[in-house]
Structure 1
Amino acid sequence: MTAYIALLRAVNVGGTGKLPMTTLAELCTAAGLARVQTYIASGNVVFHSDGPEEHVRTALEDRLQDYCGKRVGVIVRTASEIAAIVARNPFRAMPGNRVMALFVDTPLPADPMEGVTGMKDEQIHLGPRALFVFYPNGMATTRLRIPSEKTGTARNMNTVARLAEMAAALG
């Protein structure tokens, strides 16, 4: 079995509405996922599955659509991919709550600045199927807009590191 992490887009932080994490865990189990664990109320799930990434994503999106009444975007990564994000963080010396990994399933631009607007002091770097974004003044007042935000989902590096630990513990 493969250890995976699913990151839901716009759950409990705007857009999709409230989704209790106990309900999310039940939906994951109903989708055939094993050893399901959720982490904080922003749509993070760690689990095992025999299925490939696309199958896991589709099964989870279908269950979420039935529950929420609309499509909820789901990004799925293996435990090793999440561990690689932690290891490749170009902003390791910065506070983890000021560095975001923006996970995407669409092709990333060769130039991470392509289409970006509103940039001031923020920094952006390409990662493996993700963009790393450093917000030196936090996200609350930023005007930064990144095209990949429309389909991706971001987590701060503290959360990503914790998810990597949880997935590693699943084995």
Structure 2
Amino acid sequence: MTTYAALLRGINVGGKKKLPMAELRGLMDGLGHDGVRTHLQSGQAVFTSGHGDEESLAAELADAIEKHFGFSVDVIVRDHAYLEAVAAACPFPAAELEAKQLHVTYFSAPVDAARFAEIDREAYLPEEFRLGERELYLYTPDGLGRSKLAEHLAKPRINKGVIATTRNWNTVVKLVELTAE
């Protein structure tokens, strides 16, 4: 059995795509997953499963959500080892920053630096980002809601062909803890 986190994109935001966590847990139990727990209302679920891989589990959950709730939701599933490695590889001094200043964007597939080549990084300073293989670390000193860099990184041409979902540092750390149990 492997422990995973499911990251759901764009639910329970601004009154749209309402997805009660109790119903999500029940839905995931019905898919045969064990130990299903949710974290916050913004779309994180932790579970164990003995079948499938990250991609097939994400597709299965996205399909079940659409059938049950009547709307589509992008889903990324990652295992504990990956989540732990992402937290450990943070290129910014996480312990010195407030959680609202540091974020990780998880991608559904590897992304290369060429996708971000047109961004004038100096124009956004002191905001910064660093690219991993399937993740992007984002430092926003004034928070994500005020970040011009985050706004630019969210543009469809930047994320074309991949699912991207962002979590603040508190959630990044919590998902490592929850998937370790």
**When the two structures are superposed, what TM-score results if normalisation uses the length of structure 1?**
0.89
Question: What residue is the counterpart of 2:145 in the other structure?
Answer: 140
Conservation of the 8 A alpha-carbon contact between 1:85 and 1:128: no
Q: Which is helix-richer, 1 or 2?
A: 2
Question: What residue is the counterpart of 1:67 in the other structure?
Answer: 68
Q: How many residues align?
A: 169
Question: What residue is the counterpart of 2:21 in the other structure?
Answer: 21
Amino acid in the other structure paired with 1:55: S
> In the aligned structure 1, how far is the partner of 2:15 from the partner of 2:78?
22
Amino acid in the other structure paired with 1:106: A
* Residue segments in structure 2 that go unaligned for 5+ positions in a row: none
Question: What residue is the counterpart of 1:31 in the other structure?
Answer: 31
Alignment of 1:1-171 (within 5 A): 1-14=1-14, 16-51=16-51, 52-91=53-92, 92=94, 93-111=96-114, 113-116=116-119, 119-144=124-149, 145-146=152-153, 147-148=158-159, 151-169=163-181
Conservation of the 8 A alpha-carbon contact between 1:112 and 1:125: no
- Give how far 1:16 is off: 4.8
> In the aligned structure 1, how far is the partner of 2:76 from the partner of 2:64?
14
Conservation of the 8 A alpha-carbon contact between 2:2 and 2:48: yes
Structure 1 runs (4+) greater than 4 angstroms displaced: none
Deviates more, 1:12-21 or 1:48-57: 12-21
Which string of whole-angstrom CA distances, capped at 9 and with x for unpartnered residues, describes residues 48-88 of structure 1?
A: 01122122112101111112322210011001100111111
* Residue segments in structure 1 that go unaligned for 5+ positions in a row: none
* % identical equivalent positions: 34
Which string of whole-angstrom CA distances, capped at 9 and with x for unpartnered residues, describes residues 18-71 of structure 1?
A: 111111111111122111010000000110011221221121011111123222
Conservation of the 8 A alpha-carbon contact between 2:112 and 2:133: no
Deviates more, 1:25-34 or 1:142-151: 142-151
- Cα–Cα, structure 1 residues 64 and 16, in superposed 2: closer, same or farther, change >3 Å? farther
**When the two structures are superposed, what TM-score results if normalisation uses the length of structure 2?**
0.85
